[in-house]
Amino acid sequence: MQIDEKIFKKYDIRGVYPQEINRQAAYSISRAFTDFLKDFYGLQKPKIVLGYDIRKSSGELKEAAIKGLLESGAEVINIGLCSTPLNYFGNWFLKADGSLMITASHNSKEYNGIKFSLKAVSAPVEVGAEEKIKQRAMRGEFKDGYGDLFKKNLLSDYISFLNKEAEAQDFSSFKIAVDCGNGMVGREFETLAEVLNLNYQGLFMEPDGDFPNHEPNPLNEEARIPLKNLMQQKDFDLGVMFDGDGDRIVVFDSSGQAVRTDFIIGLFAQYSVLEKNNFKIPCDSRISRGVKEEIKKIGGEILPVRVGYPYIRKRMREEKSLFGAELSGHFFWQDFSYSESPLLSLIRLLKILKQKNQPLEELIKPFQKYFSTEEINFQVQDKELTLKKVEKEYSNGEISLLDGVTVNFEDWWFNLRPSGTEPFIRLKVEAKSKQLLEEKVSELTNIIKGA
């Protein structure tokens, strides 16, 4: 059975089940991944951690992946239903040679996919492995072997790790609203909340692969409505929302308004610089000038990196950075093997709030210097042609091609980049005034649509 080539994205596998991703694809990709680990690390029997999310198709894909791993001679550790961060935790906690996670992240229920990592949660794209894995899977040429299968529950180990970070602090004075979106983080949050004695009210905590209440994407405005409604009905200090596989977090202030992710990045960057003497913070290139300016004041430096978790992790390793982030709600920590754990991020945010003894709204005020859009999506026929057209139109500005096209002017800037996982081109604009912002968004919209 031929594998649909379009399921191979920039740094993971994703497609509609079963038309695009199916048993055959999961089987072949797992075999190709095992063969790559054998060749790259010089191993006869690589140790591979496997986890999967609650999607209706995940069980079938998991069985096919296990079959492929075993027939290629891997030592497979099945950690069962889990979030992506728990899968990452298993990778480095068990000192594995790689890990597979069956998930389609924040995509809607008809999708599924595979995220794979090498040792210590490094991504295949960091060493140029993704094309080799793809080509081997497409050819169907594999090395045979005899593998072993083990099962292990790592939830208690993960919670112990998180509890250690809390340092026995009492967070019960914070009243927290939580929306787990029927995704994988629900039971993990509930277990952690019991250990830390968190004072919270939860929505949609039970994992359900149909995602019956809203899409598992915390950036979706409609998906945010239930949490906003809850927070407007009762008094809360903050709210948090997670995506389907639990590797992203969006934070809400006490009024129920979503806090811009770059402002949360700013708080964590201050923590990294002032508390940990770690001065270089890799982030995607769309971060607000206001955050960059405030971090520069205290001796830190925001390092621009192209969007995508492999690129930020790679730069973090190079710089030995404690912390890195991207605006979609991914926060990466050196002591979590340069990967993301929203529960770890939540604990660190609570520690900051407790230490500063100020509401979240007050702490982010220094970053609020400019007016900014969320990312605006455009569906275009030719992404490259559109980028070149826009670059030419704004050739009088300071241009960076690090990630799409970024153009800086004295009182405004914009970034236009192609999505790596969806058929869109995305625009973000920031300016010193609301009027200038609206003018430039309109101007750019006309150019993009004209292209």
Q: Could you tell me the CATH number of the domain that includes residue 200?
A: 3.40.120.10
Active centre residues (catalytic): 105
Q: Is residue 42 classed as helix, strand or coil in its secondary structure?
A: coil
Q: pTM, whole model, 2 decimals?
A: 0.95
- DSSP labels for 61-101? HHHHHHHHHHHTT-EEEEEEE--HHHHHHHHHHTT-SEEEE
Q: Whole-angstrom Cα distance, residue 97 to residue 117?
A: 9
Answer with the one of 224, 252, 280 that is the final residue of a domain.
252
> Are residue 278 and residue 326 in the same domain, yes or no?
yes
> Are residue 211 and residue 195 in the same domain, yes or no?
yes
Long-range Cβ contacts of 399-402 (<8 Å, 24+ apart): 400/285, 400/304, 402/285, 402/304, 402/305, 402/306
Dihedral sign (CA 340, 344, 350, 353): negative
> Are residue 99 and residue 233 in the same domain, yes or no?
no
Q: What is the C-alpha end-to-end distance of the chain, expressed in Å?
A: 39
Percentage with pLDDT > 70 across the chain: 99
> Are residue 143 and residue 227 in the same domain, yes or no?
no
> Are residue 9 and residue 147 in the same domain, yes or no?
yes
What pairs with residue 114 in β-bridges? 13, 102
Provide the domain count of the chain.
Answer: 4
Q: What is the pLDDT of residue 102?
A: 98
Residues in Cβ contact with 105 at an 8 Å cutoff, skipping those fewer than 6 apart = 12, 14, 84, 113, 115, 243, 244, 245, 247
Token pair 């192209």 is found at 306
Answer with the one of 219, 252, 285 that is the final residue of a domain.
252
Q: Are 261 and 340 in contact (CB under 8 A)?
A: no
Domain hosting 291: range is 261-367
> Are residue 320 and residue 266 in the same domain, yes or no?
yes
Residue 240, H or E segment: strand 238-242
Q: What are phi and psi of 295, to 5 degrees?
A: -70, -35
Pairing relation of β-strands 47-52 and 75-81? parallel
Structure token digits, residue 23: 């048993």
Residues in Cβ contact with 113 at an 8 Å cutoff, skipping those fewer than 6 apart = 7, 12, 13, 14, 15, 21, 102, 103, 104, 105, 107
> Which phi-psi region, left, alpha or beta, contains residue 168 (left: φ > 0; alpha: ψ -120 to 50)?
left
Q: What is the pLDDT of residue 39?
A: 95
Residue 324, H or E segment: strand 323-326
Q: Whole-angstrom Cα distance, residue 412 to residue 433?
A: 9
> Are residue 357 and residue 375 in the same domain, yes or no?
no
- Burial call 311-328: b when 16+ CB within 10 Å, e when fewer: bbbbbbbebebbbbbbbb
- DSSP labels for 350-380? HHHHHHHTS-HHHHTGGG--SEE---EEE--
> Are residue 350 and residue 281 in the same domain, yes or no?
yes
Answer with the one of 336, 367, 398 that is the final residue of a domain.
367
> Are residue 122 and residue 73 in the same domain, yes or no?
yes
Q: Whole-angstrom Cα distance, residue 267 to residue 261?
A: 10
SS3 content of the chain, % helix, strand, coil (to 5): 40, 20, 35
Q: Is the peptide bond before 18 cis (omega within 30 degrees of 0)?
A: yes
* Residue 303 exposed, middle or buried by CB count within 10 Å (0-12, 13-18, 19+): middle
Please identify every stretch of the chain with a pLDDT value under 70, giving residue numbers as ranges: 1, 420-421
Q: Is residue 122 classed as helix, strand or coil in its secondary structure?
A: coil
> Are residue 375 and residue 362 in the same domain, yes or no?
no
* Residue 407 exposed, middle or buried by CB count within 10 Å (0-12, 13-18, 19+): buried
Q: What is the pLDDT of residue 125?
A: 77
> Are residue 248 and residue 266 in the same domain, yes or no?
no
Q: Whole-angstrom Cα distance, residue 165 to residue 275?
A: 14
CATH number at residue 376: 3.30.310.50
> Are residue 406 and residue 437 in the same domain, yes or no?
yes
Q: Is residue 412 classed as helix, strand or coil in its secondary structure?
A: strand
Q: Whole-angstrom Cα distance, residue 407 to residue 384?
A: 16
Residue 242, H or E segment: strand 238-242
